[in-house]
Structures are given as structure tokens and as C-alpha cells.
Structure 1
Amino acid sequence: GRTREQGYKGAAEYDTIAAVKAAVRVPVVANGDITTPEKARDVLALTGADAVMIGRAAQGRPWIFREMAHFLATGTHLAPPLVAEVQRLLLDHLVEHYALYGEYSGVRTARKHIGWYVRGLPGGEAFRARMNAIEDSAAQLRAVGEFFDGLADLTDRLPVHQEAEALSGEEEAATAAD
């Protein structure tokens, strides 16, 4: 896990979680840097924890939970999500986001969510920059639809390693900044 003082700097440490698990009789949940199904398996084995908690790795990847559950149960990977599914998830997410935050704040705070969904996708960085200039929800929804329609013309599914590579790049950048 991580201490409050550590924040997101450096690598998560799991020995303390293992020591806590050995010392108590209540369920223990491990967390910190769990970005792939393999990492979840390894952290569970190392700590003896009863479960793992996923944080930043789920940003823009709500399907990560089913991927990890499937891998932990079977040892095999699911196919990456369909582009059409991700498009539908993001559009639904945005509609709910605007309903919660309103037009003005919703459009502005939605930008980071859109960025998380398109992280590591072909054309994702340029699209993210374009999103920063859009000032209304209808235009954001149209642009997201067009982006994913274009991606669907190239492939049915997200790139296999899109998620892990995007997160690895962020972790390397965070470590380099230390």
C-alpha cells in the first residue's frame, strides 16, 4: 500500500499489508499500483489479503473490474472491450456527469474523464487537446461519438495493451519527476 505522506510517489509497499493480515482476523484489502490482472494476483499471493482495491487504474477503464475478476478466477484474459461498448460507457458516463454537475461545470470536469478513456488510444492525445476547447455538452457528446466511430472503423476492440501501457507511462513519468 501507500502512506499518506508517500502520496503517489514511488512504488507501493506490500510487506506492511502482509504483516497486518498475519496479525488480525478481519478481512484485509490490499491496494497500491494494482493496474493489471497479473499484479492483482501477485499482490494477493504476496500479502495473503482477502481482496484488492483498484483506484487510479479504473479511471477511464470501468471494465478493469471484470477483467481482474475473470483472470483471478480462470488465469486467462478476457478480450479487450469492444470500441462500441467503450463509446456507450463513456457517453452514458458523460450524460450522468452533466446531470450531476450541470452544463458549465460538467463540461469542464468531464474533460479529465474523457482524457482517461482515450489515454493510449490512436489519436487519443490530439483528441484530448481538442476536448479542452469544447465549451458545451452537446458538442462534447458529438465529438466523443465521432472519435469512437472513427476508432471503430479501424478496429472492433481496444488495442490489447492500451490500458497497461498508458498506466506504465504515467508511473514512469511520476517516478522520473521524483
Structure 2
Amino acid sequence: IIDINMGCPAKKVCNKAAGSALLKDEVLVREILQAVVAAVNVPVTLKIRTGWDRENKNGIAVAKIAEDAGIVALAVHGRTRADLYMGEAEYDTIAAIKQAVSIPVLANGDIDSPQKAKAVLAATGADGLLIGRAAQGRPWIFREIEHYLRTGEQLPAPSLLEVERILLEHLAALHAFYGDVMGVRIARKHVSWYLATLPGAREFRAQFNRLDSTDAQCTNVREFFSERHNNGEGVAA
């Protein structure tokens, strides 16, 4: 697919009339969507926010433009651009957008647990969910949500052994994709997210962020988990 992001609120993006800044210009939104859909032979999807600010919530209008332009699915973050990531996401606008169009609508914003996922689906009638920040360092949130929606039961937290395995696989993938230099840099934030709730993580992070090779990073992570195992810690927080 090609996914067009008109949801990013970052200043450096919006200052270039990109991301969620485009929500200010519905004519341009239509032109962009029509041009992309006409130019490619794969499905085109779109992500938006509810509007530019709380006085200008034009999410429904943009959603209808998207449907008319041939967008096949729409993701909606329950904040305006002006909200950035502050406060709480609201879902009434997402529910209204879902009612206004016939294409699949995906709800996004503050979904950080299986229980919240179920509540947001119920509140919006959305066809699915998008999860961003809550999945950082916690990729198993997706299976936790799937299991809870299917059974009503909460999965136990992953064991430290599993967290170690997943993290090392993630590191290997980052290094392979980005190369040794960028891979090592990008890995630092991911390792920080994975270990944030574990004892000794802050001290480890300070040391880990000085490492400049793939092998050193992987060795360091293995040593960190080996110490946790030796201390009898078996389950991630």
C-alpha cells in the first residue's frame, strides 16, 4: 500500500505545509489524494487528525474528500494538530467520521492496553485500531489486545527470556536494515524503551549509549539480562 500521513503534528513538518498542516487546505488535500490514487496501482490509505485545532475540526469533511478521491481506508488520531500529544485523545469525532463514510476507519490515540482497545472500538465503531507510542518497547501489546478481544482474558506479561529474545531480534533487524552506523544509533532509543521498567535500566542506558558497534550492543544486552536472570527476576513489568 501507499499510506499518506496528514496526521503528523511536528513543527518541522507542518512548517513545510506537510503532515497535519494540510488539514488547513481541503482543496490541496483533494488534489494530492486524487493525484496519488491515479498514479499508482496499489491501495492508497490516509491518516489524519480530527482537525487543525479545536475550533477547526474538519475531520468529517476531509474523510469525505478522501473517500471520494479513492482512498481505501482512513486512520484518525483523536487529537487536533494543535493538541500535539497533550491531554487525552477524544473519540466522538472518530465515531462521527465512521458514520459519515463507508470506507474502513481505524481509530488512533492513547490506546495503551487491551481494556482501552476494547473501549475505543466500542465508543467509535471503528473497523480497527492503530497503536503508536504504546508499542514502543512493548511489541507484544498487539497479541495482548487480540487475545483480550477474543477471550476477555488478560495474557500474562512476557518472561524476561522472551523479552531478551525479542529485543535481540529487533536489534539484529535494525542493524541489518539501517547499517552499522545508523543502526547502532537508532537501536539506543529502542533498547531504552524495552528496558524502561526493569531495575537498573537507567544506569545501563548511560553505558549502552556510549557503545558504537553492533556486537558490543548485543553483548551488552545479553549481559544485562543475564544479571536479571541471576537475580531471580523472571517476568517483565
* Common topology (TM > 0.5): yes
Alpha-carbon distance between aligned partners in 1 of 2:227 and 2:149, rounded to the nearest angstrom: 33
Partner of 2:234: 156
**Structure 2 residue aligned with 1:137, among 202, 206, 214?**
214
Q: Which runs of 5+ in 2 are unaligned?
A: 1-77
Compute the TM-score of the two structures, normalised by the length of structure 2. 0.64
125-134 vs 79-88, which moves further: 125-134
Distance 2:152 2:205 in 1: 34
In the aligned structure 1, how far is the partner of 2:197 from the partner of 2:233?
14
AA in 2 matched with 1:15: D
Q: Could you tell me how far 1:26 is from its partner in structure 2?
A: 2.2
**Residues 1:42 and 2:119 aligned together:** yes
Point out the structure with max Rg over C-alpha.
2
Q: Secondary structure in 2 aligned to 1:8?
A: coil
More strand by share: 2
* Percentage of identical aligned residues: 54
Give the aligned residue type for 1:18: A
Is residue 2:143 matched to residue 1:66? yes
Matched, 1:119 2:196: yes
CA distance in 2, matches of 1:146, 1:12: 39
- 1:7 equivalent in structure 2: 84
> How far does the alpha carbon of each residue in 1:33-79 deviate from its partner, in whole angstroms, 9 at most, with x for none?
00111111111111111211111111111111000100111111111
- Does the alignment pair 1:31 with 2:108? yes
Of residues 86, 99, 112 in structure 2, which corresponds to 1:22? 99
Q: Report how far residue 30 of structure 1 moved.
A: 0.6
Question: What 5-or-longer segments of structure 1 have no aligned partner?
Answer: 160-178
Q: In the alignment, which residue of structure 2 is the partner of 1:176?
A: none
1:113-146 CA-partner distances (Å, limit 9, x unpaired): 1001101111112211211111211111111011
Take 2:94 and 2:144, find their aligned partners in 1: how far apart are those partners? 24
Q: CA RMSD, aligned part only? A: 1.3
| Higher RCO by CA contacts (8 Å cutoff, separation 6 or greater) | 1
Instruction: Give the paired residue count.
Output: 159
CA distance in 2, matches of 1:29, 1:101: 29
Taking the aligned partners of 2:162 and 2:190, their CA distance within structure 1 comes to 16
As a proportion of its length, which structure holds more helix? 1
CA distance in 1, matches of 2:201, 2:177: 26
The one-letter code matched in structure 2 to 1:8 is: Y
